[in-house]
Amino acid sequence: MKDFQPQEFSSRDDHPYPSRAGSNPPDHRQLARRLLDQHPSFQGIDRTRAFDNPPGSSCRISLPESIGPYRVTDHIGRGAFGNVYLCREPEPPRKNVAVKVIRAGKDTDEVLARFEAEKVALKMMEHPAIARVIDAGATDDGHPYFAMEYVKGLSLTAFCIKKRLTLEERLRLFINICQGVQHAHTKAVVHRDLKPSNILVTLIDGVPQPKIIDFGLVKSLQQPLVEGTMHSQAGIALGTFEYMSPEQANPSGTDVDTRSDIYALGAILYELLTGELAFAGLRERTYMEIVRVITKDEPLLPSLRLKSVTAESSSGHASTLKTEIGTLTRCLKSDLDWVVMKTLEKDPERRYQTAQELARDIERYLAGEMVEARPPSAIYRLKKTVRRNRGLLSATVLVFLALSGGLTLYLVERGKRLASEVKIEQMIEQFRPSRIDVPAMAVDLSQDVFRLGRENVPDSRIVDLEQALAIDWIEVAKNNVMKSYFAPALAAIEKDFSEQPRVRARLLESLAMAMSKIGLSGAALPLQEKALSIRREILGNDHRDTLLSISNTGMLLKRRGNYKEAQPFYVEALEERRRVLGDDDPDTLDSINNMGILLKLQGNLVEAKALHEEALEGRRRVLGDDDSDTLASINNMGSLLIKLGKLAEAKLFFEEALERKRRVLGNDDPSTLNTISNMGRLLRCQGELDEAMRFLREALATSHRVLGDKHPDTLMVINSAGLVLVKQEKYEEAQLLLEEALETRLQVRGHDHRDTLVSINNMGYLKKCQGKPEEAKPYYEEALERRRRVLGDDDPATLGSMHNLGALYRDLGRLKEAETLAAEAVERGRANEARCLGRFIDGHSHTLAEMGRFAEAEPLAVEAWSILEGKGDATHPLTVDVIDNLVDLYRAWHEADPGAGHDKSAAKWQGKLDALEAARAAETAAAPPPAGDAVPEKGQG
């Protein structure tokens, strides 16, 4: 008799968690503080130093007497590469120089060799906006150093704020900076780390004079072993994140040229104009998230950034420019928005190609001429002409402009609405399945928070720390995404489109679908229901968009496990699409497929098979064999045939799906990976264990590389591979994998998540298969206790644990306890129409037979067989197992009561069993595992 087995195969290609994107929510330190503060074990601990002070912030620098030939007089700064000292030249006129000593970890000979290669070009640079690099050498302890022209000034941003430079003054200062950069570029020298702190400003004859420092040093320091802010063997980028171009952020870092400096100039200009960074909060993110932001996200227009910050902040910034916020915003909204955004283009080809081009465009702005940063439309040219020639406008032109004001206002307002709509759609698009990976976010978040907590927790408190942080980090990540992104998008939809119901419905549905894809179906459902209500009202029930909303509402309910509530929506969508759109419309085929999936989940396998066959045939005919929907249908057919026990037929579909997916999508696509895993699980069921491990090892290697070690899908493959090793009786290897799955799920998902409870169950399964029932017992008992508490007594997984623990108690001879659990599983299974009711009834029958209560066991065993056969499971291994139990029951009953004719009943059922075994042998499917085996669980988030 088999123990409980939930669904083993993934039938859908729409994963709730897609390929790894490296995403990670902000505010890890704040979250770490909050989690530690909330845990009683950590009350009273001083966390200020651990969380707030940067490493070494309290350390004093001891001054060396000299660095090379230069006498040290003061320590004047610390940067990414090392410390900077104020020194005096050894020979008259003994000018002050700034000497930068590079921190440990740099290969001195390699650094100096690179500097020598750059020295000729560096010495050719003679420009008032560039601080010259004079010399290079090595300290007595082997650290490379560089001597530079000393500039006594403030950083660019500090100078602008202190001197309260106006907008025009800032732009003219920026033009001087561009001219210095242009000079260096003509000498084939790229800075690679332009930022305000590398641009010092001083007053010469009352005029601000910029001096760019560190030109040439960054390239000299670039080498394979450099750490920190440079490209290293780990692929960390060279430069400063806030001013780094997308090509620099790319781990290869091979496409950096002068246009990377143009991007940095744009980021600097953005900050000068708005007082804000183009991308704020990068330092609170993981490295891969920083790269994604720099290479994928678009910054807000400078004028919009002013509106996005607090009134106090924006007004304060405007006051430093000696203007009002409204005036500053209007200035930016003209040409400066477009000048800045042209410098910040992701594609270098779309930026200004030289610093000189950028400077000239700013000069055009200051002169009231047209800038090149955007197409000069007729209206745009007219506005420039008006600005330069206000006194020459005729009364006729003024009258025309007045009359056209209404139209202009309409166009402006319409443009604002369209811009808002596009912005919301872009926000939603960031969280499409291909662009966000919540499990990856959760892994990074848990590791970062644990690391931050570990910084101030002694070794004796590590256990307390682990307990404090033993939570479901995926839920934390999802909630963080909801708060940071989806909630603002929803607020914008409700605010900006309350008077445009059709647009509002479309955006609400897009938002609901994006939320659902990352596991927020509960929060998404009200939005989807609202979208459906709007469309029913304004479009009618027969409109294609309304039918889509009906279908999507059913899908969200299904994803939440509300199969009964989902069915009316699926039925309505299917019937109306057949009537309105026809059987061959792709939307109708979607409904046919979705209805088949729902029926399979409800246990109606015969009707589900007919629908899956119809969907597959239609998709092959209408969409072609290689379409993604067709490939999903092929996979779904294989999954359904597994449920029907037709393993040989299922294998044909999986083989076709895998061949096409490898060719069309590639081996690394999550859908391909899903089918590879399914092949491994199928082969395990067929008893082809070596072949199963071949597929699972491939899936595991790809999952580790593409998804990451701690992604739920990776852990699912680890789990499956461990179960194959159990079947191969390679128990030590199996234990390593199953323990890895359990420990990682505990770390990422917490003690009470479904996946963690599956791993606890499977550890019990391993021990039972090893013939160690006493060691299996605590795992099965823990799984049941937690499932009762977390999921409730009637959850299918809880019923499965009742069944499994009851079977184990039966093997241990604890028959009364076994019967109590088996009876409860059956009672609750009947009340909830559980899909596995037949198995539960069979388990109860088996236990009653062991107790010698044959008259009670017989009707239950026959009922179990009837249920499974009625579902179309006539040749399924579980059906065969039930018949085998019936044979054993009648034989044992015959031994107890030889004259009652139970031997004839045993012979009748033995005949059925032989026929089914022959049928299964004809399908080349393997026999079921021995009676009494526990059946493991897959575990899917």
Q: Which residues pair with 102 in a beta bridge?
A: 82
CB-based contact 490:527 (threshold 8 Å):
yes
Distance CA 246, CA 254 (A): 11
Whether 33 shows a pLDDT value over 90: the answer reads: no
pLDDT higher at 706 or 81: 706
pLDDT higher at 278 or 312: 278
Confidence tier at 141 by pLDDT (50, 70, 90): confident
Whether 929 shows a pLDDT value over 90: the answer reads: no
Question: What confidence tens digit (pLDDT) does each residue in 396-422 have?
Answer: 333 333 333 333 333 334 444 444 555
Whether 739 shows a pLDDT value over 50: the answer reads: yes
Q: What percent of the chain has pLDDT over 70?
A: 72
Strand, helix or coil for residue 770:
coil
Q: Which residues fall within 8 angstroms of residue 205, CB to CB, at 6 or more apart? A: none
- What b/e sequence results for 210-220 when a residue is b if at least 16 CB atoms lie within 10 Å of its CB, and e otherwise? bbbbbbbbbbb
pTM reported for the whole predicted model: 0.50
Question: HEC string of 315-351?
Answer: HHHHHHCCCCHHHHHHHHHHHHHHHHHHHCCCCHHHC
pLDDT higher at 454 or 190: 190
- Calculate the CA 353 to chain-centre distance: 35
Distance CA 673, CA 700 (A): 9
Backbone dihedral region for residue 275 (phi beyond 0: left; psi -120 to 50: alpha; all else: beta): left
Confidence tier at 876 by pLDDT (50, 70, 90): low
Confidence tier at 872 by pLDDT (50, 70, 90): low
Q: What pLDDT shows up at residue 205?
A: 86
Residue at token pair 């994963």: 15
- What b/e sequence results for 785-818 when a residue is b if at least 16 CB atoms lie within 10 Å of its CB, and e otherwise? ebbeebbeeebbbbbbbbbbbbbbbbeeeebebb
User: Could you say which DSSP state residue 898 is in?
Assistant: G
Q: What pLDDT shows up at residue 712?
A: 79
Residue at token pair 């199928």: 682
Whether 301 shows a pLDDT value over 60: the answer reads: yes
Confidence tier at 123 by pLDDT (50, 70, 90): low
Q: What pLDDT shows up at residue 514?
A: 79
Distance CA 447, CA 460 (A): 19
Dmax (CA) for the chain in angstroms is: 124
Q: What pLDDT shows up at residue 414?
A: 41
Q: Is the dihedral angle over the CA atoms 85, 86, 89, 95 positive or is it negative?
A: positive
Confidence tier at 224 by pLDDT (50, 70, 90): very low
Q: Which residues pair with 74 in a beta bridge?
A: 86
Q: What pLDDT shows up at residue 309?
A: 65
Strand, helix or coil for residue 191:
coil
Question: What confidence tens digit (pLDDT) does each residue in 795-849 have?
Answer: 888 999 999 999 999 999 999 999 999 999 999 988 877 778 888 999 999 999 9
Give residue limits of the domains in the chain.
66-393, 775-941
Distance CA 804, CA 5 (A): 9
CA distances (Å), origin 440, targets 480, 504, 748 = 13, 31, 10
CB-based contact 507:427 (threshold 8 Å):
no
Distance CA 224, CA 230 (A): 9
Distance CA 370, CA 379 (A): 12
Q: What pLDDT shows up at residue 475?
A: 66
Whether 706 shows a pLDDT value over 60: the answer reads: yes
Confidence tier at 931 by pLDDT (50, 70, 90): very low
Q: What pLDDT shows up at residue 460?
A: 61
Q: What is the residue-averaged pLDDT of the chain?
A: 77
Q: Which of 10-19, 202-211, 487-496, 562-571 has the lowest mean pLDDT?
A: 10-19
Q: Which of 176-190, 241-255, 406-420, 555-569 has the lowest mean pLDDT?
A: 406-420
Distance CA 780, CA 818 (A): 13
Q: Are strands 144-149 and 82-88 parallel, antiparallel or unpaired?
A: unpaired
Q: What pLDDT shows up at residue 893?
A: 94
Of 362, 352, 357, 307, which is closest to residue 329 (Cα–Cα)?
A: 307
Confidence tier at 385 by pLDDT (50, 70, 90): very low
Of 275, 98, 285, which is closest to residue 198 (Cα–Cα)?
A: 98
User: Could you say which DSSP state residue 632 is in?
Assistant: H
Question: What confidence tens digit (pLDDT) does each residue in 9-22 have?
Answer: 444 333 333 333 33
State which fold the 775-941 domain adopts.
Answer: 1.25.40
User: Could you say which DSSP state residue 130 is in?
Assistant: B
pLDDT higher at 748 or 185: 185
Q: What pLDDT shows up at residue 395?
A: 41
Residue at token pair 């910034």: 317
pLDDT higher at 581 or 417: 581
Instruction: Quote the tokens at residue 729.
Output: 């009786």
Of 426, 425, 432, 437, which is closest to residue 298 (Cα–Cα)?
A: 426
Provide the edge-to-edge strand list for the sheet that holds 96-102.
Answer: 66-67, 70-78, 82-88, 96-102, 144-149, 133-138
Confidence tier at 907 by pLDDT (50, 70, 90): very high
Whether 529 shows a pLDDT value over 60: the answer reads: yes
Of 695, 628, 629, which is closest to residue 664 (Cα–Cα)?
A: 628
At 327, give phi and psi (nearest 5°).
Answer: -65, -45
Q: What pLDDT shows up at residue 465?
A: 54
Q: Which residues fall within 8 angstroms of residue 548, CB to CB, at 6 or more apart? A: 509, 587
CB-based contact 192:80 (threshold 8 Å):
no
DSSP 793-844: TTSHHHHHHHHHHHHHHHHTT-HHHHHHHHHHHHHHHHHTT-TTHHHHHHHH
For residues 25-39, average pLDDT: 45
Of 794, 695, 753, which is closest to residue 9 (Cα–Cα)?
A: 695
Strand, helix or coil for residue 454:
helix
Question: What confidence tens digit (pLDDT) does each residue in 762-801 have?
Answer: 999 999 999 999 999 999 999 999 999 988 998 888 999 9
pLDDT higher at 938 or 586: 586
Q: What pLDDT shows up at residue 291?
A: 87
Give the residue numbers marked as catalytic.
193
**How many CA atoms are closer than 13 Å to the CA of 707, on its beta-carbon side?**
30
CB-based contact 941:16 (threshold 8 Å):
yes
Of 61-70, 328-337, 911-920, highest mean pLDDT = 61-70
Secondary-structure class of domain 66-393 per CATH: mainly alpha
Whether 263 shows a pLDDT value over 60: the answer reads: yes
Distance CA 648, CA 687 (A): 12
CB-based contact 670:716 (threshold 8 Å):
no
Of 27-36, 39-48, 451-460, highest mean pLDDT = 451-460
